[in-house]
């Protein structure tokens, strides 16, 4: 009886953590989706090459994973408290599937840096072409780029030259966006010399850095959740067998 009670407590603790982790992942996914002031929002508007879908729709993946973690956490807790063999078996099967998916995901993360870098390089020509054509002319696109450059403290896709010959450049007599210049250098006149002296990093490098950092965080969180899942699967099967013996 004491052993059974201890297992229930452990099952509740493990699944409580999984449930909270699911809520956190779901929250991050929702935040990414509603955060329109980011370069990912711009990438969604670009006719991107096949494969970029994995980057711009990462918010949907996080929301799906978070939702599934919430469900399995709930099933595990209820199954332990109510001593339901059906819930425990369902919990075990779902967690096993999720665990296998996470193993596959971990392998993808190992090569994520190279994949992201390749995809972003392939986008370069199209993104720069769109900047030269629409920046300063298309209000929504211009606002999105301004918000992105302000948030990440970057300039253009590669550098300030991306804006050369754009509608904004022509309308302002050969000036560049203020984000492309250091305030102390430009003195509100972000011309070619000021932009060159400021040497602000392109958003390509900032985005790649952001993706790499988040990939490492996601990999660490996934590893922690995977350990909890293995422990929870073991405890659920022990409880499943004990409840079956009582019946």
pLDDT at residue 45, rounded to an integer? 53
Give residue 215's region: left, alpha or beta (phi > 0; psi -120 to 50): alpha
Q: Around Cβ 70, how many Cβ atoms within 10 Å?
A: 18
User: Which CATH number does 117-204 carry?
Assistant: 1.10.1450
Element (H, E) at 222: helix 203-246
Q: Where are the alpha helices (DSSP H) in 111-202?
A: 112-134, 139-152, 167-171, 183-186, 192-198
What 3-state class would DSSP assign to 172?
coil
- pTM of the predicted protein model: 0.54
State both tokens at 148: 């992105």
Nearest to 201 by CA among 157, 171, 141: 157
| pLDDT tens, residue by residue, 86-134 | 877 888 888 888 788 777 766 666 665 566 566 666 677 888 888 999 9
3-state secondary structure 226-244: HHHHHHHHHHHHHHHHHHH
pLDDT at residue 49, rounded to an integer? 45
With a cut of 70, list the residues of the chain below it in pLDDT: 1-4, 32-59, 105-122, 183-188, 211, 214-216, 218, 246-247
- Cα 23 to chain centroid distance, Å, stands at 15
- Cα 142 to chain centroid distance, Å, stands at 24
Cβ pair 179, 154 in contact under 8 A: yes
pLDDT at residue 155, rounded to an integer? 92
pLDDT at residue 178, rounded to an integer? 87
pLDDT at residue 50, rounded to an integer? 45
Domain map (residue ranges) of the chain: 2-113+222-246, 117-204
pLDDT at residue 5, rounded to an integer? 72
């Amino acid at each position: 009886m004491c052993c059974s009670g201890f297992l229930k407590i452990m099952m509740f603790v493990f699944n409580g953590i999984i449930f909270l982790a699911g809520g956190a992942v779901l929250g991050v996914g929702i935040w990414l989706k509603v955060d329109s002031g980011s370069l990912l929002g711009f990438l969604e508007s670009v006719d991107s090459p096949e494969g970029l879908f994995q980057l711009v729709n990462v918010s949907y993946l996080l929301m799906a994973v978070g939702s599934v973690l919430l469900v399995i956490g709930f099933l595990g807790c209820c199954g332990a408290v109510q001593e339901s063999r059906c819930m425990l078996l369902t919990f075990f099967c779902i967690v096993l599937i999720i665990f296998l998916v996470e193993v596959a995901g971990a392998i993808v993360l190992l090569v994520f840096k190279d994949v992201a870098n390749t995809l972003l390089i392939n986008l370069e020509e199209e993104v720069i072409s769109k900047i030269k054509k629409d920046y300063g002319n298309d209000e929504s696109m211009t606002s999105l780029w301004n918000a992105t450059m302000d948030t990440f403290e970057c300039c253009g896709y590669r550098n300030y030259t991306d804006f050369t010959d754009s509608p904004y450049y022509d309308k302002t007599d050969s000036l560049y966006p203020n984000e492309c210049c250091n305030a102390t250098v430009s003195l509100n006149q972000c011309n070619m010399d000021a932009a060159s002296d400021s040497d602000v990093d392109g958003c390509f490098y900032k985005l790649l850095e952001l993706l790499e950092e988040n990939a490492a965080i996601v990999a660490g969180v996934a590893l922690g959740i995977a350990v909890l899942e293995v422990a929870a699967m073991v405890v659920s099967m022990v409880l499943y067998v004990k409840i079956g013996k009582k019946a």
